[in-house]
Amino acid sequence: MSTPHASTPQVSTLYAGGKVFDGESLLADRGLLVQGERIARIAPLAEFEGFAGTRIDTAGATLLPGLIDCHVHLIYSGDGDPRAVCGRMSVGQIVLTALDNAQASLAGGIAALRDCGGKDYLEFAVRDACNRGTFQGPAIRCAGRMICMTGGHGNYIGRVADGVDEVVKAVREQVHAGSDLIKIMATGGVMTPGVNPQDAHYSPEEIAAGIAEGHRFHRPCASHAQGRDGILNAVYGGIDSIEHGIFMDEVCCQAMLERRTFLVPTLSAVRNILAHAGEGVPDYAVEKARAVAETHRRSIKMYYEAGGRIAMGTDAGTPFNRHGQNALELAYMVEIGMTPADALKAATVNAAELNRMPERGRLAEGKLADLLLVEGDPTQDIAMAAERKNHRFLVKGGMRVAARAAG
C-alpha cells in the first residue's frame, strides 16, 4: 500500500459544532482551536464568535484524543502463523512490513503505539523514521528484543537470558540498542509451542533484577504475564504493566491495586485466534486459546471492577489481529463490562500515562493536536470509536491523516 499523505497544517483551525471527549469527560458546546501542531484553546463556542480562520464543522460527531495502542508487534501482520511467515522474510521485507503496519494503525485512528517485541531491532528504523517525520506514522515506542528464559515464551526471537546476572546484562543490551521500554516474559504463552501459559518462567529474583535495571536507566518495564505465579513475580518485582493477565486471581488483583500496576488486556488476541480456528492458526495455539478465553475475560473484568488501572493494548500482529483494526479492542473491553467512557480513557489518558507521553492522550490546551473525529457519541455507543467506518478523520500533530482502506 502507498504511504498516507498529510495535508498542509493550517496556522489556525477551529473544530466546532459537535461534542468533545477530552479523555475523561464529555463536553458540549465547546470549540477546540488548533494552532500549528498544538491545541491552543478549548472553550465555550461563544468565545469563538467571529473567528476568521479555517473552521471544521463537527456537528453530529465527537472529537476525542487520537487513540494509543500499548501492545503491538509491527513485524507481524496478522497471518495465521505469523512466526512462520516472518521467518521466511528478508530483512528488507520485515522493515517494509513494519512500516506498512504502523501506517495502517495510524489510518485506523491510532496516533501512538508501543511495540512490545520485534526482531533484531529492525522495527527501530520504522520507529525513528516515523518519529522524526520522514514517513507519516504514529508516535512509536519500542521494546526491542523480548527477554525470556531458555525455552521460554518467545525464545525463537527474543533475548534468551538465565540467572540474575544474565538478565541484567540482557536489559543493558536493550538500553544500549535504544529500546524505549523493557519487555520481560514472566510466563509461558499461547503462541509458543511446548510452553504452558500458567507456568512461571523467571524466578522472583531474576525478574526483579531485570525490572530494577530497567528502572535504573529510566525505562518503563512491561511483562508478558499470563499465569498467576508469574504475574505475582512481576508485580512484586515492581513491573509497570502486566500484559494479558489471563490467570489473575484476587491476590494478584490486590497486589496490583496496591502498586497501581497497569493492566493491558489484549482481548483481541485470543478472540481472533478462536474466530479463525482452522484458517492456518497452529493447532497448539487454538487449543491453548480455547483453554484460557473465559478465564481471561473474567480476570480483566475483576480488575476493572476493583478499580484497577487499564490501558488499551491489542497484541496486533498475532493471528488475524490486524493492524488498522486496533480500535475494535474498545468494543471488546465494553463487552466484558467496562463503560464506553472508561474504555476510551484506557485508550487515551491511561495509555499516555503508561507510555510516558505527557503531550498525548488528552485534549487540553498546550497538548499535541492528536484528534480523532468520530460519528455520534462514543460514550453512549462505543462502536462509534471502535469501528473504522464511523471515523471521519484523524489529525496527528495538527496534520490531517489521509484516508486509507481498511486492512
Chain segment 347-363, per-residue pLDDT in tens:
999 999 999 999 999 99
Report the alpha-carbon distance of residue 104 to residue 99 in Å, rounded: 9
Which of 6 and 159 is assigned the larger pLDDT?
A: 159
Query: Who's near 327: CB < 8 A, 6+ residues apart?
Result: 67, 108, 109, 110, 347, 385, 386, 387, 388, 391
pLDDT > 70? residue 374: yes
Residue 402: its pLDDT value, please? 72
Q: Tell me the pLDDT of the chain averaged across its residues.
A: 95
The predicted pLDDT at position 10 comes to: 52
Task: Give residue-wise pLDDT tens across range 2-21.
Answer: 444 444 445 799 999 999 99
31-71 pLDDT, tens digit per residue, is 999 999 999 999 999 999 999 999 999 999 999 999 999 99
Domain boundaries, the chain: 12-65+361-401, 67-354
Of the candidates 241, 233, 232, 240, the residue with the CA atom closest to the CA atom of residue 265: 241
Architecture of the domain spanning 12-65+361-401: Roll (2.30)
CB of 356 closer than 8 Å to CB of 220: yes
Q: Is residue 365 predicted with pLDDT exceeding 90?
A: yes
Q: In angstroms, rounded to a whole number, what is the distance separating the alpha carbons of residues 213 and 219?
A: 9
Q: What is the mean pLDDT of residues 135-140?
A: 97
pLDDT tens column, 194-252? 999 999 999 999 999 999 999 999 999 999 999 999 999 999 999 999 999 999 999 99
pTM here is 0.95
| The pLDDT of residue 373 is above 70 | yes
Q: What is the pLDDT of residue 407?
A: 54
Could you tell me which of 311, 316, 276 has the C-alpha nearest to residue 78?
316
Question: DSSP per residue over 195-214, as a string?
Answer: --TTSB-S-HHHHHHHHHHH
Grid look-up 510452553 returns 195
What superfamily would CATH give domain 67-354? Metal-dependent hydrolases (3.20.20.140)
| Contact residues for 185 (Cβ-Cβ < 8 A; gap 6+) | 146, 147, 148, 149, 152, 153, 154, 158, 201, 202, 223, 224
Q: What pLDDT, on a 0 to 100 scale, did the predictor assign at position 4? A: 45
Model confidence band, residue 187 (pLDDT cutoffs 50, 70, 90): very high
pLDDT-based confidence at residue 405 (cuts at 50, 70, 90)? low
User: What are the distances in angstroms from CA 227 to CA 85, 189, 195, 209, 245?
Assistant: 28, 9, 12, 20, 7
Cα–Cα distances in angstroms (integers) from residue 378 to residues 63, 98, 331, 346, 394, in the given order: 10, 30, 10, 14, 15
285-307 pLDDT, tens digit per residue, is 999 999 999 999 999 999 999 99
pLDDT at 25 > cutoff 60: yes
Question: What share of the chain in percent tops pLDDT 70?
Answer: 96
Average pLDDT over residues 65-90: 97
